[in-house]
Structure 1
Amino acid sequence: MNRRPDEYLLAKNQRLDEYDDFESPFIPMFRAKPSAKDSQRSLRTIFIFLAGVSLLGFGTLLFKPSSYLDIQDAPAYSGIVNSQSYVQGPPTQRFRDNLRNDTKYVTSWISAGWTNDVMTYGNLIYLALITERIPIIGKFTPSHVDNSAPPFAFGEVIDVPRLTQAIGIPLLEWHEVKDSESQVLDDLGCWSVWETVQNEDPHPRGSPSLNWLKLDISWTRTPDWVKLTPPGIQDKHASFWSLATLGFPEARSNSLGLTNRPSPQHQVSLPPDDQVLCFDYLYYIGAQNAWEWESDYSPAWRYVGQHMHWNTSLERLADAHARRAMNVPVDEPTPPYIAIHIRHGDFRNHCNDIPLDQCFAPLSAIARRVSEVQEELRTQKGIEVTQVIMTSDERDPEWWSQVRALGWTWVDFAMERTEEIYGKWYPVFIDAVIQSNGAGFVGTHGSTMTTVARRRVESWRGGPTRTVRWGWPGADDH
């Protein structure tokens, strides 16, 4: 099967990004041999409405400090935005009872793989910036782990105080607004973007978050003009600023006559709420083009995403796992390393009639990319990096044996008993943190987990990155 690379990649991006990234890390049942041991830029905020000044100290150190990652000296933020000033008080049985009459909010929900959900929340927060509203963020739902895993709070993954100071606006989480144990079913009118931007599903985009939050939504279809691309182009993206206009009186009032769906349980028809601007799904959003998180100008990344640093406790937990994987002595700092993310898993479904050993990039191609990153670190930063940590959902023991033969290592989650001790979410979280903390990074083309990890390494570490192409024999030859 011969297909031009550019045609393949275009088709692949159209097929893959909606549900990427569902992968869970593979947990090899054998240990890798220990391998040889050896700024973030701050952007001006767009809108600032600071409320109150407080000092926040970070909690007890959980693990040995790491000089390479500099996580032992987490900034003490003065002038943190006090999000609690934007609710009436503790969470209430009905969410609206906790909202301030002089404040407007914006919210949306998630329904994809975890990395896409992180990007969706980044898009939501950027939309809050340009509409001058307070974002309300839901919990992460277990789309990529066992459904028995409970939802996971945004602030237990992302350092919210650091984020709010960087972007200059408050951020609320749904559990701070409405009691998580509430059984009250709240009515709410919202906009459905999903019905407008695609023709395959004539319904609003569903989300398990609505069940957790006990929300009964009456949906109104957004106007056709919110679509980012012309009607004849098969693409699902809406425009940030087109959606933003619906948060202001003129565009909202001019669009209230559009198709409205009664709420599924109470069967009430409500116009889109003015105080709580809400949309069904904000993953497919762009300012200028589709898939903007891939581009260096991406406003959602520049003004929000790069400021979504890890919660300090999660950062330290991942660092401890990485140190053990690299066999670092207790009294030595964490050395710089190159992180790799190789996604196979469900990508095999896109190989069609190409044998997997020809569809996926061979380890020799990945090693070549690692060597490029090592050379760039050597020549541009004067750093000799020999440690390499692999993260992947590949399950073939022979493949992992070849990884071991290259002198690379990985986190053995089975031996660490990570799920047993911390929960089912943590292998994915730890992999993501380890990827972002690399001095350099090599990832898989077409994976959003790679996209976000690459952006973090470039922004947070100033590190070189590469993506490995795949899909046909010799795809990454260069």
Structure 2
Amino acid sequence: MGVRSRFVVGLSFALGVSLLLLLSPASIKDSAASTFASSSAGWSAYGASYRGVQGVESGPLLRGNSSDGLFDRLMPDVNYMTSGRAAGLTNQVIAAINLIYLSVVTGRVPILPPFHANNQLSKTPIPDLPVSLMFDLARMNREMVDLRGVLEWEDLQTDKGVPEPEVGCWGGMRKNNALEFAKIKVTWTDYPGLTFPPKARYMSWVQFIPYLTPSSPFYHRFVATKVHPSALAPNDQFACIDETMDGTDFADMGPYNEYAAGFGGWRWAGTFLRFREELVEQGRVRLRKAFGIAPGQDIPPFVTMHIRHGDFTAFCGKGDPCFTVAQFAFQLDLLKKELTESGRPVPLNVLVMSDESDPKFFEQVKARGWKMSQDGEGVQNPKLVEELGGWHDTLIDNVLLASGDHFIGTISSTMSLLGSLRTKDWNGGLSRMVGFKDPELPLH
């Protein structure tokens, strides 16, 4: 079954059930910091040019040039979707994946916001990062046959003096400053059926998609009955929403559980969002040094561990083991048993990635014969370092998390979640997560 067929079959189940509910008489009601864009030096800091990624069978995605206003740039036969951003890099990646997913479902072209560095990444301001400097958007567009094309906000940047357009957008819980990077004046309209405080933490895409679909009768009915005639309604051709991180197909699952189960945005978009080859190659350089392998030689099979401490230690009870090296060793032992029982090779090497800085932690890792990702530092590609600036090390870390034959991560960490999914989908590996009260395996 091809990508298109699997996509349609999967969505038919979720959306079919939802639309039956939406169409019933009882439910047709409405239940259904400094920014990069503010500085002309931001995008040019990366020395790259942007033209958007056009689908194989589609026409141009934009017209005009940077001297034209936003709505003058839009093609009359193309519908678009964009969103704001929030939280750290990994959550912004999930939001981008969900934006691409929603765009495909609703027949729109996604306009991806750049990644923003929060305090977890850097204590000093660094320029926002275009998504295409982390991911191979052209490859994704080739492999996702239902995706008409991809744009980034840089493709829509305008010259100084061009008036900021007024845009009607959908908003929920994160509409404050969500789109400040975009140089647009936003008028927010609450999601259909949204109550304050929200009844649920997560937005259900299944309920919202009928309003996001171009020329939808649900959209037109909502605007006609719920938006004041003098107010700026959400734009039909240029759909924008405040954020996509907290949306799921089914709101009661939540984004973490939905992704972990292989559903939603990851299943139909995220698995196609591969890292740039330049980043992958630099990851290989780091791995060879960490494992003591000469340049050009094959990297031995290994298990990647993501041991997150930092703010996650607050989740642990007093006196309980808290994501210890011994807990990860216990899960590694179970992983090896599973591989042995299934007749698959058992890797002898382990690469540990962690935000821990306590020297005792590193001693415990070394005592088990494992390698730290820091063991591979010191060999860099100067051109890549110059291009990525303060983002370089974080992007390489993301690549390393997805490079192992198998994966063991920290429960509830979205960084571990994506590392796990990428390892399973891209490398055919097994994955396990260390929980808050998992047993420990003593060092023999």
Counterpart of 2:310 in structure 1 is 345
1:145 and 2:121 matched? yes
Counterpart of 2:410 in structure 1 is 444
**Structure-2 change in CA distance of 1:475 and 1:338 (3 Å):** closer
Counterpart of 1:165 in structure 2 is 142
Mapped partners of 2:165, 2:198: distance in 1: 37
Counterpart of 1:387 in structure 2 is 349
Give the alignment's Cα RMSD to 1 decimal: 3.0
Deviations 1:411-434 (A, max 9, x none): 327645799765222222212211
Please tell me whether the aligned partners of residues 64 and 72 of structure 2 are also in contact (alpha carbons under 8 angstroms).
no
> What amino acid is the match of 2:187?
S
> What amino acid is the match of 2:125?
S
Q: What is the CA-CA distance between 1:185 and the residue it aligns to?
A: 2.3
> What amino acid is the match of 2:410?
T
Counterpart of 1:26 in structure 2 is none
Mapped partners of 1:163, 1:468: distance in 2: 31
Please list every run of 5 or more consecutive structure 1 residues that lacks an aligned counterpart in the other structure. 1-40, 48-78, 195-202, 261-267
Deviations 1:382-430 (A, max 9, x none): 3241121111111211111211111111232764579976522222221
Mapped partners of 1:342, 1:180: distance in 2: 45
Please tell me whether the aligned partners of residues 309 and 323 of structure 2 are also in contact (alpha carbons under 8 angstroms).
no
**Structure-2 change in CA distance of 1:301 and 1:182 (3 Å):** farther
> What amino acid is the match of 1:145?
L
Pairing partner for 2:287 from 299, 322, 344: 322
> What amino acid is the match of 1:344?
H
1:287 and 2:249 matched? yes
Counterpart of 2:154 in structure 1 is 175
Please tell me whether the aligned partners of residues 330 and 439 of structure 2 are also in contact (alpha carbons under 8 angstroms).
no
**Structure-2 change in CA distance of 1:339 and 1:90 (3 Å):** farther
Please tell me whether the aligned partners of residues 444 and 468 of structure 1 are also in contact (alpha carbons under 8 angstroms).
yes
TM-score, normalised with respect to structure 1: 0.72
Mapped partners of 1:287, 1:240: distance in 2: 5
Aligned residue pairs: how many?
Answer: 381
**Structure-2 change in CA distance of 1:420 and 1:426 (3 Å):** closer
**Structure-2 change in CA distance of 1:319 and 1:379 (3 Å):** farther
Written as runs of structure 1 = structure 2, the 5 A alignment for 1:99-248 is 99-143=74-118, 144-146=120-122, 147-168=124-145, 169=147, 170-179=149-158, 184-194=163-173, 204-207=175-178, 210-224=179-193, 235-247=200-212, 248=215
Please tell me whether the aligned partners of residues 326 and 440 of structure 2 are also in contact (alpha carbons under 8 angstroms).
no
Please tell me whether the aligned partners of residues 183 and 214 of structure 1 are also in contact (alpha carbons under 8 angstroms).
no
Counterpart of 2:31 in structure 1 is none
> What amino acid is the match of 1:186?
P
**Structure-2 change in CA distance of 1:428 and 1:234 (3 Å):** farther
Please tell me whether the aligned partners of residues 222 and 258 of structure 1 are also in contact (alpha carbons under 8 angstroms).
no
SS, match of residue 4 in structure 2:
coil
Q: Percent identity at matched positions?
A: 25
After TM superposition, the structure 1 stretch with the greater mean CA deviation from structure 2, 91-100 or 325-334, is 91-100
> What amino acid is the match of 1:255?
F
Mapped partners of 1:214, 1:391: distance in 2: 38
Counterpart of 1:313 in structure 2 is 278
Please list every run of 5 or more consecutive structure 2 residues that lacks an aligned counterpart in the other structure. 9-53
SS, match of residue 390 in structure 1:
strand
Counterpart of 1:43 in structure 2 is 3
Counterpart of 1:367 in structure 2 is 329
Q: What is the CA-CA distance between 1:244 and the residue it aligns to?
A: 1.3
SS, match of residue 442 in structure 1:
strand
Mapped partners of 1:179, 1:409: distance in 2: 48
Counterpart of 1:435 in structure 2 is 401
Please tell me whether the aligned partners of residues 190 and 279 of structure 1 are also in contact (alpha carbons under 8 angstroms).
yes
Higher RCO (CA-CA < 8 Å; seq separation 6+)? 1
Q: What is the CA-CA distance between 1:240 and the residue it aligns to?
A: 1.2
Counterpart of 2:219 in structure 1 is 252
> What amino acid is the match of 1:239?
S
Counterpart of 2:318 in structure 1 is 354
Mapped partners of 2:130, 2:416: distance in 1: 23
TM-score, normalised with respect to structure 2: 0.77
